[in-house]
Each structure stands twice: as structure tokens, then as C-alpha cells.
Chain A
Amino acid sequence: MRKIILCALVAGTTLMAADGAAVYKPGVLLPANGEAIYKLSCVQCHGADGKQTTDTGLSRIVYKPINGLDAASLAKELKDYRYGSVNKYGYGPLMKSTLVDLSYEEIDALAEYISTNIK
């Protein structure tokens, strides 16, 4: 029986190689990946550089720059958003809905990523 299991595991690995890149989804108990979370949930508003300004012609939205923030205080603020105790610039509900599925570990990883990579 062991041989069959081994074969199955090997078959599984080759299948994986064929299919390629790993996918990430927050909130499903995978090892926390700050970069993936940023690209999935944050980049639309905050931009790749953390200081996005959106101008559609009709409306101009300026987001507070988040580049280079300190990891520890950012993590704390994000956790406060997650539990709904912070509501800055009226974005509280939006931030909460974005963060609510993240575990504390994932928020820490995200804050770490922003503070070291978004300059």
C-alpha cells in the first residue's frame, strides 16, 4: 500500500509542476504572505507606491500616503480598523470590510511588507 501512496504523491507533485504558480488567499490559514495581500486588497486604492491619487475627471480622490510607515504602529492601527474602533476620513467601514478576514498574523505580515517595501 505504501508504494501506491508514494506513487500518488509523486503523481501529485508532477501535476503541480505542470500547473505552475501558487495562488494566495487571505483568511484560510495559509502561511501569511504580506506581499500577496497587498496586491490583492490594498493596491487598488493605495497604489503600488503607497501614495495613490485617483483622478477620474469627475472626481479626484486623494488617499493618505502609507509608504514608509512604521510596521508596529501600522499593524496596531490595522487591527483597530479590523475590530471597528477606528474610523479615519470616513474609511472605517471600508477598511474593516477589507481587513475582517485577515488573521492577526496576516496583518502583521502585511504591515511588515508595507513598511519595508513601499517606500
Chain B
Amino acid sequence: MNYKYINSMLSKMDEDLSTKGMTRRDAMKLAGLSGASFMMGGSSLQAMEKDEKPISKSGVDAKIVIVGGGLAGMSTAARLTLNLKNPDITVIEPNKESVSYQPGQTLVAAGIWDANDISYKRDDFVPEGTKIIEDKVIDFDPMNNQVTTAKGQVIDYDYLIVATGLQLDFERIEGLEHAGRAYSTGDNSRLHKAIGEDSGICSIYTAEGATKTWEQMQKYIEKAKNAKNGEKVQFLFTHPGTPIKCGGAPKKIMYLTNARLKEAGARKNAELTMYPNGGTMFGIPEYHDAILEQFKREDFKWHYRHNLVGVEIENKIAIFDSQWQEKGPFDPVMKDFEVISKHEKIRVPYDFLHITPDAVAPREVAESDIGSAGGWVPVNKETLQHIKFKNVFSLGDIAQVPMGKTGGSVRKQYKVLVENLISHMEGKPLTSKYDGYTVCPLITDIGTVMLAEFDWSVRPTPSFPLDPLVERWVFWLMKVYALKPMTMYGMLSGKA
């Protein structure tokens, strides 16, 4: 455990609190909770300490291969190590910074953190005894229990865990074809070359992009500050038609841009518009209503059913595919009017354009035997076991699990997966079930967060005894100070 890090975060938090005339204890009381349990999201440091030696470790011997060493893969490796007597675990991961803290990218993009705050080295988080193979799997052969890597290694396994994550499909957007596909971390120079150094286009979906978003944001806030004669600087935000990593992020960056504009006194010279592909703000009706109220309060504009299909970087034009329905001719059989779907391309000029790219499964997974038509790895959504290959499990962004593409989901999934994998190895039925829990700390301003928690019941499932629809400063404190240590030192050690 790295207490030094947690302590330094806590003292930073105290500083922030004291400016508001509060102590940490007051803040905890405000949350209706006691000290450490709030900091660690329910499991206190002491409890984690006691947890060091689990009561019973399974004695089954088997070679477990984990493809992908991000948050999901590494946390699973750590928890397996804690629960097996003789763990034989191999993680295949080409990226040296695979465990970087992605939820922090929004905060980097708003200038609250900087790039160093979210960059973490894979090799510092490898559980003892776990083998790391720095290579990329390009072929899955589940019939023969083998995977092949780009360097030509053929690796056998008894049990396979697929946690490759997803790819950001920028090349689908006309005008950005040469951007290619990207991962959140790693070398994304090709993407940024395609977007241009100073084009007003940005995306917080890559770590490098988050830093660039902050540069661009400052520039256009400055422009808004100096705008005259009622000129409005246009800030556009998109949300694509595919499932995406952290569904709240496209809005968080909008709220944070708004906060920075207000801070600069330039809000009246700016127009912020959201273009979601869908017809709602959020999949959960309660949160949808709450967000709509926030949009009205902050004087945001929004246009539903607009999908970003192209950009003209030279002319600063975003091209959206706009869809709508019209009343058609009367159908005498149905005794009603027909509904005709229509769509057209519309061109919208922008100054600042934040792109949330389509998310796709990596081709090597999608087109292999373990993939599916939609690309994602088809698993039983509750047990996380592959529907065809019983010795294959999957979790994280790549698993075909509804609403599951967040770190908060992984935090529940990896425990379920480890329990079920061990049951399966011991020949017992799989009893642990994932309930679809996911969490979105929706940043609505610098200093307030609405903690949207929900599961497959499609209703708010709050962890705290507080109204889940209220934006709170205390959840801001949690997002900015507590969630990172919990993720980096709790989850990645297999405990929280």
C-alpha cells in the first residue's frame, strides 16, 4: 500500500476544505459517513489491511492468460494472485502506461490536474509473480487454447481472460481518415497530426488529447473574452451512436468549459451546444430530467439525433447527419398515418469542437472466434463467462455487457469474474453475479458533481443516503481526491 500518496492527497484536500472554512471531519459529516469509509468508497484502509491474508486460497493449478493489462486486466491479475495458492498468471500488454488513470482525463482537460497526475507505469502495478509479456495479441484460437502475438509468440493457456479494451474510431469521420484508430494512452501522434495543432478540434478521450483540449479551451475562452458586437464564439460537443467509454464524459467537458468561461467572465459571448446522436441526455429517466434542468439553467443549447460524420478543418465546419421523422400519407389498413424517417447532412460552423469518437472493438478480437458481429466479446452478462468457450472470460470495455464501459463497472466486474473463474476451475457452478452497476460522477461545475449510479434496473441506485439527483460539493471532493487513490491502490492491488 502506498499511504504516502493517499496522505498527500488528503492534505491537499484539507487545504481545499479550509478555504471554505471546513475541516475534513465536517465534510465527512456532510456526506453522512465516517472518515475512511468515505475515502475508500465503502472499504476502509484498515479493512484492506486485514484483507491482506484471505482465509482460504484455492489450490487448483492452471495457467491463466490475461490479454490486456489495463485497469481491468491488472486488477483481475492482482485479485487472482490473492485467491490462488499457486498462481500462474501471464498478462500480455504492449503499452508501458496501460494502467494510466483515464477518469482523470476530464480534469486534465479543464486544467485542474496536469498530465503527470494521471500517467502511471504498468510495471509498478504488476502483482508479485505475475509474468508480463510486452507484446500484442493479434490472433485468438480458442479451439486450441492458444493466442498468437505480433512478435510471433504462440502462448498456450488453460483459462483466458480478455480485457483488451476498446479503440477510438476517429478514421470513420470524413476529413479525419488519416487519424486512424487510437487507444486512450500510448503514442497518438498520428491522431494529433490529423486533427492539427491549432484547429479548435479536440478530444479528451486520449490522455494526450486531454492536455491539448485544455490548450484549445483556453485559447477560445480568450477569444470569447475579446469578442465584440454581440459575436458569439461557438463551442460544439458531440456524442456518437456507439456505446462509449464513460457516457457522461461528453457532458462533463461541456460543463467544465462552461465553468471556465464563467470564471473568465466570458460566458455571455459564448454559445455551448450539445449534439447527441440519441434522443435523450441519459439512459436513466431520472438523470435525464436532472441533466435537462441543468442544461436549461446554464443556458446550453442541444440538438438531439445529430451524429458527427465529417469535419472540414480548413473551413471550421462540422458535418452532422441529422435524423427526424415526418407524418406520411394515411394508411387505410392501419387506420393511421405512416411515419417516415428522414435524414440530411447539415453543416455547422464551430470555433471549438469537442469530438467524442465512435468506440469499436479491436479488429483482432472482433474478427476472431471469441468476438461477435458487433465486435464485443459475447459473455453471459451476469457471470462474465464466454457464451461459447467455457474457459474464456471477459470484462471491461471489450465485454459485451450493457452499460458496462466505465471504471466503476470494472470495480464490480473483476470481483465477480475472479470468483466465477475459481468456481469454474474447481468444477463448481458459477454463483457470483454482476448486476450491471455502473457509476458516473457527472461533473456539473468546478466544485459540484452529481453522482449518477445505476444498474440494469435502469433506476438510480445510490450508495449514499442522499438524494442522487442533487449536485454536491462533497461528491466533487470524492471525484477529485478519493477515487484516484481508490482505483490506483485499491483496485490495482485486487482489494477495493
Task: Give chain A's interface residues, CB within 8 Å of chain B.
Answer: 1-2, 4-5, 8-9, 11-12, 15-16, 19-25, 27-30, 79, 83, 101, 103-105
Contact = CB atoms under 8 A, between A and B. Distances in A.
A25 B147 CA distance: 14
Nearest to A21: B152
Given A4-B129, A104-B171, A16 B363 contact: no
Contacts of B426: none
A19 B177 contact: no
B126 A1 contact: yes
Contacts, number: 78
Given A16-B153, A24-B150, A101 B177 contact: no
A9 B151 CA distance: 14
Q: Which 4 residue pairs of A and B lie closest in terms of their CB atoms, listed nearest first? A: A8-B131, A104-B178, A103-B180, A12-B133
B134 A29 contact: no
B180 A105 contact: yes
Contacts of B150: 22-25, 28, 30
A19 B131 contact: no
Nearest to A15: B153
B215 interface: no
Contacts of B135: 12, 16
Interface string B165-206: 001000100000110110100000010000000000000000
B321 interface: no
A25 B139 contact: yes
A9 B128 contact: no
Interface string B345-386: 000000000000000001110000000000000000000000
Interface string B127-160: 0111111111011000000001011111000000
Contacts of B130: 8
B299 interface: no
A28 B132 contact: no
Given A1-B128, A5-B126, A103-B181, A22 B171 contact: no
Nearest to B138: A25
A81 B149 CA distance: 30
A23 B152 contact: yes
Contact of B363 (A2, A12, A27, A79): A27
B123 interface: yes
A65 to B, nearest CB: 28
Nearest to B91: A8
Given A25-B364, A28-B363, A103 B129 contact: no
Contacts of B190: 105
Given A28-B362, A28-B363, A30-B150, A5 B132 contact: yes
A2 B123 CA distance: 8
B177 A12 contact: no
20 contacts: A5-B123, A5-B126, A8-B132, A8-B133, A9-B132, A15-B153, A19-B151, A19-B152, A23-B150, A24-B150, A25-B363, A28-B136, A28-B362, A28-B363, A29-B167, A29-B180, A79-B177, A83-B177, A103-B171, A104-B180
Given A25-B363, A29-B167, 12 more contacts: A1-B128, A4-B128, A5-B123, A8-B133, A9-B132, A12-B131, A22-B152, A23-B152, A28-B150, A28-B364, A83-B177, A103-B180
Contacts of A27: 363
A100 to B, nearest CB: 10
Contact of B134 (A12, A101, A103, A105): A12
Contacts of B181: 29, 103
B166 to A, nearest CB: 12
A29 B165 CA distance: 14
Contacts of A4: 126, 128-129
Contacts of B152: 16, 19-23
Contacts of B136: 28-30
Nearest to A104: B178
A35 B105 CA distance: 38
Contacts of A1: 126, 128
A104 B190 CA distance: 10
Nearest to B362: A28
A93 B128 CA distance: 52
A101 B154 CA distance: 24
A21 B183 CA distance: 26
A79 B171 CA distance: 12
A5 B77 CA distance: 14
Contacts of B154: 19
A56 B181 CA distance: 41
B283 to A, nearest CB: 30
Contacts of B134: 9, 12
Contacts of A19: 151-154
Contacts of B363: 25, 27-28, 101
B132 A12 contact: yes
